[in-house]
Chain A
Amino acid sequence: MIKYIHLNELETGQRANVVSVGGEAAMRQRFEDLGIVRGTEILCVMKSPLGDPVAYLIRGALIAIRREDSANILAELCLEAQDGTHA
């Protein structure tokens, strides 16, 4: 079963694969510079004390993104069973 979510809905500890990046051109470009493109695996690592922004592990780097920005990223949720068992 495939479940699509927006990145801002990803809970701490969950993984997802990027499906598409929307939003303004400048923002899409910034995301691409950080390596966020179709297929990129993203792990939600932690929330800041006030809940926003949220830090994600993206291509080995920890990047904080605000919720309304991460809402532009559509991703495919990796199910729990996949986590850790597959590379």
Chain B
Amino acid sequence: MGLTHKSTGRVLRESAESVTRVSDDEIIIALAGNPNVGKSTLFNELTGMHQHTGNWSGKTVEYAEGVCRYRGEKIRIIDLPGTYSLNPHSAEEAVAREFICSPVPDCVAVICDATCLERNLILVLQTIKEAKAVIVCVNLMDEARKKGIHIDTKRLSESLGVPVVGMSARSRCGISEVLELFLSSKKLNNCKKDFGDGNYAEIAERICRECVTRESQKREQRDRRIDRILTGKLTGFPIMFFLLALIFWITIVGANYPSELLSSFFFYIQELLLRFTVYIGAPEWLTSLLVLGIWRTLAWVVAVMLPPMAIFFPLFTLLEDLGYLPRVAFNLDRCFKRCDACGKQALTMCMGFGCNAAGVVGCRIIDSKRERLIAMLTNVFVPCNGRFPTIIALISIFFVTVSGTAGSLLSALILSAVIIFGILLTFIVSKLLSLTLLRGTPSSFTLELPPYRAPQVGKVILRSILDRTLYVLGRAAAVAAPAGLIIWLFANIEVGGITLLRHCTDFLDPFASLMGLDGVILFAFILALPANEIVIPIILMAYSSSGALIDYSGLSELGELLRANGWNSLTALCVIIFMLCHFPCSTTLMTIKKESGSIGWTILAAILPTLVGIILCMTVSAIARILG
């Protein structure tokens, strides 16, 4: 979800043409399969690379490539997008088909879900028709056994005329058989068996009658009971809200302690740095640049942003692993339909919590171009992980006066309200777009609701905390530190006796005060275009340079500094609103440019939320002024 592919170290390719054979010795295997069959899990197990696996359609939207060595042979594995068929009516299907039909892969391994083999066989049959050689891997055999489904893989192999392996990628069962088959894939021959009359669905049904036996429907009944609660008429929406608030509450409570620890750690290092620079006799400007510019920005991003992210993500991933997110899309689809949009937009919004750029890429799961553009343009109304920790900080400083459990509960509720406000804005703006620029009727919509699966709690928590931490630290070093340098220069280079920063903020001040902000805040938002994480550090630096120098070592000091510079709860409210609705970060904008292929839509994607933010902030501050 939130992880961009880059941060997980996967090699991505844009089109099949870029995958070519390097030597004749290497074996090239393409992994194909329906969405949600554990294709990515198998890919990870084989190549040992970390990748975030998910439960919804079209999770793997780009090529991913990995190398695995087995018995001295080099096997290159290409993970194709999850598709239901090879009929190229979506971008992913076209990509998959192009590669399967090309001469590059020695063999196509079609991964099937044993719990609904019949549907999966349609893709298998299509692939057998097109590919040079085919291996069928029936995954989730253990799940199927629990559901009382037995699959006769030998008989299936006879019926299909290609090798079939039963396996469970999660528990590494059957992996070595798969690898053995890969090794012999150059010798495999696709005899293109004649399956007799009928379309693929009918053939699949016939084959399944021979090879699959079902015992009981216990698990299915259990799933239906869970569904009756999670998607129930009366319970569906309250549970969604409750889970959202619960996750935020755990995040806020859990983040407090590590955040304080990290703060004091960074403060301690800052002291050391200061002493060190004095010791080596560095000039004052250098000390100020290093410590107040670079170090402090870095410290803010790590201490305040990292803990909430490292807690929020594992929790969200657990929900995803359970199979709950497609149910959210199921529950909310009606609302999206009212806005002439696609229910899968709920899934791309969930991805947006992690990173709006990832959310925009995720919009590829939406087939209709019109609905995809709506989802892309409105994704920014979901606060990404660069923004919601700041919102949490402002809420706890300005709106929560009680401490302890009551305080954290209140913070979680306010944050949930902010998120729901963002969701409402998404609906309103989506509707406005479909009434004006993106007119049209909703296209057909099908969404698979996968069976509930017990999440691998330990693995999920460990992996996502690790991934998140590395991601944030990497970003802190790559973006926050250089940005700190630039901001410091802005704040310290003087033109006509006034700093550059002051020139800019004074210029923006009149307009900003109409919005209930001040020039510094608005300028901070503009400077933070590369990464929303650094809005508050910029504000801090601007305020510090104008006299009131306070050492930042915790949220309460931050609150004091902000209040000393004229902030009140109205300012905080306007900042939160503008944090929710303003131009997306530069990475997201570039992604929108790439995905939409149009500068026009990209500019709109920047202007639209900014306009909404300006209007909302002005309205709120005007109302506050009238009320006194």
- A47 CA to B334 CA in the complex, in Å? 11
**Interface segment, one of B64-72, B184-192, B196-204, B279-287:** B196-204
Known contacts A33-B87, A59-B119; is-contact A49 B446 (Cβ 8 Å): no
Q: Is the CB of A26 within 8 A of B89?
A: yes
Known contacts A30-B446, A34-B84; is-contact A53 B333 (Cβ 8 Å): yes
Q: Is the CB of B331 within 8 A of A34?
A: no
Q: Is the CB of A66 within 8 A of B232?
A: no
Count residues on chain A whose CB falls below 8 Å from chain B CBs.
Answer: 35
Which residues from chain A contact B205 at a C-beta distance below 8 Å?
35, 39-40, 59
Q: Is the CB of A45 within 8 A of B330?
A: no
- A32 CA to B126 CA in the complex, in Å? 12
- A48 CA to B327 CA in the complex, in Å? 9
Q: Is the CB of B227 within 8 A of A30?
A: no
Q: Is the CB of B334 within 8 A of A51?
A: yes
Count residues on chain B whose CB falls below 8 Å from chain A CBs.
Answer: 41
- Within 8 Å of chain B (Cβ to Cβ): is A19? no
Residues of A within 8 A of B (CB): 23-24, 26-27, 29-37, 39-40, 45-53, 55, 58-66, 69
Which residues from chain A contact B115 at a C-beta distance below 8 Å?
60
- Tell which of A33, A34, A35, A52 touches B337, judged by Cβ atoms closer than 8 Å: A52
- Within 8 Å of chain A (Cβ to Cβ): is B77? no
Q: Is the CB of A53 within 8 A of B330?
A: yes
Q: Is the CB of A61 within 8 A of B119?
A: yes
- Within 8 Å of chain A (Cβ to Cβ): is B164? no
Chosen A-B contacts, 8 in total, with CB atoms closer than 8 Å, are A45-B224, A46-B224, A48-B236, A48-B333, A49-B233, A50-B335, A59-B119, A66-B442
Which residues from chain B contact A50 at a C-beta distance below 8 Å?
331, 334-335
Q: Is the CB of B444 within 8 A of A23?
A: yes
Which residues from chain B contact A47 at a C-beta distance below 8 Å?
233
User: In the complex, which residue of chain A has the Cβ closest to the Cβ of B233?
Assistant: A49
Which residues from chain B contact A51 at a C-beta distance below 8 Å?
334
Q: Is the CB of A64 within 8 A of B446?
A: yes
Interface flags for B226-252 (1: CB within 8 Å of A; 0: not) read 011001111011000000000000000
Nearest Cβ in chain B — how far from A56, in angstroms?
10
- A60 CA to B217 CA in the complex, in Å? 11
- A14 CA to B228 CA in the complex, in Å? 16
Which residues from chain A contact B117 at a C-beta distance below 8 Å?
60
- A45 CA to B334 CA in the complex, in Å? 17
Residues of B within 8 A of A (CB): 84-85, 87, 89, 115-119, 122, 199-202, 204-205, 224, 227-228, 231-234, 236-237, 330-331, 333-335, 337, 343, 442, 444-451
Q: Is the CB of B232 within 8 A of A49?
A: yes
Which residues from chain A contact B87 at a C-beta distance below 8 Å?
29, 33
User: In the complex, which residue of chain B has the Cβ closest to the Cβ of A28?
Assistant: B444
Known contacts A59-B119, A61-B119, A64-B446; is-contact A53 B199 (Cβ 8 Å): no
- A23 CA to B200 CA in the complex, in Å? 20
Nearest Cβ in chain B — how far from A2, in angstroms?
21
- Tell which of B202, B236, B447, B451 touches A49, judged by Cβ atoms closer than 8 Å: B236
User: In the complex, which residue of chain A has the Cβ closest to the Cβ of B85?
Assistant: A33
- A77 CA to B118 CA in the complex, in Å? 22
- Tell which of A36, A48, A52, A66 touches B231, judged by Cβ atoms closer than 8 Å: A48
- A55 CA to B333 CA in the complex, in Å? 12
- A48 CA to B333 CA in the complex, in Å? 9
Which residues from chain B contact A31 at a C-beta distance below 8 Å?
446
* Residue of A31, A37, A52, A63 most packed against chain B (CB within 10 A): A37
User: In the complex, which residue of chain B has the Cβ closest to the Cβ of A40?
Assistant: B201
For the A-B complex with A30-B444, A49-B236, A50-B335 known, give 14 more contacts whose Cβ atoms are closer than 8 Å. A32-B201, A33-B122, A45-B224, A45-B227, A48-B236, A49-B331, A53-B330, A53-B334, A59-B116, A59-B205, A60-B118, A63-B446, A64-B445, A64-B448
Q: Is the CB of A58 within 8 A of B119?
A: yes
Which residues from chain B contact A66 at a C-beta distance below 8 Å?
333, 337, 442, 444-445
- A51 CA to B201 CA in the complex, in Å? 29
Q: Is the CB of B231 within 8 A of A53?
A: no
Which residues from chain B contact A36 at a C-beta distance below 8 Å?
201
Q: Is the CB of A60 within 8 A of B448?
A: no
Known contacts A33-B84, A33-B87, A60-B118; is-contact A48 B448 (Cβ 8 Å): no
Q: Is the CB of A29 within 8 A of B89?
A: yes
Q: Is the CB of A52 within 8 A of B116?
A: no
- A32 CA to B85 CA in the complex, in Å? 9
* Residue of A31, A47, A50, A65 most packed against chain B (CB within 10 A): A50
Known contacts A29-B89, A33-B122, A35-B118; is-contact A49 B237 (Cβ 8 Å): yes
- A66 CA to B336 CA in the complex, in Å? 12
Known contacts A53-B330, A64-B330; is-contact A30 B447 (Cβ 8 Å): no
Q: Is the CB of A35 within 8 A of B201?
A: yes
Q: Is the CB of B449 within 8 A of A64?
A: yes
* Residue of B85, B343, B446 most packed against chain A (CB within 10 A): B446
* Residue of A33, A45, A61, A63 most packed against chain B (CB within 10 A): A33
Which residues from chain B contact A32 at a C-beta distance below 8 Å?
85, 199-201
Q: Is the CB of B447 within 8 A of A46?
A: no
Which residues from chain B contact A30 at a C-beta distance below 8 Å?
84, 89, 444, 446
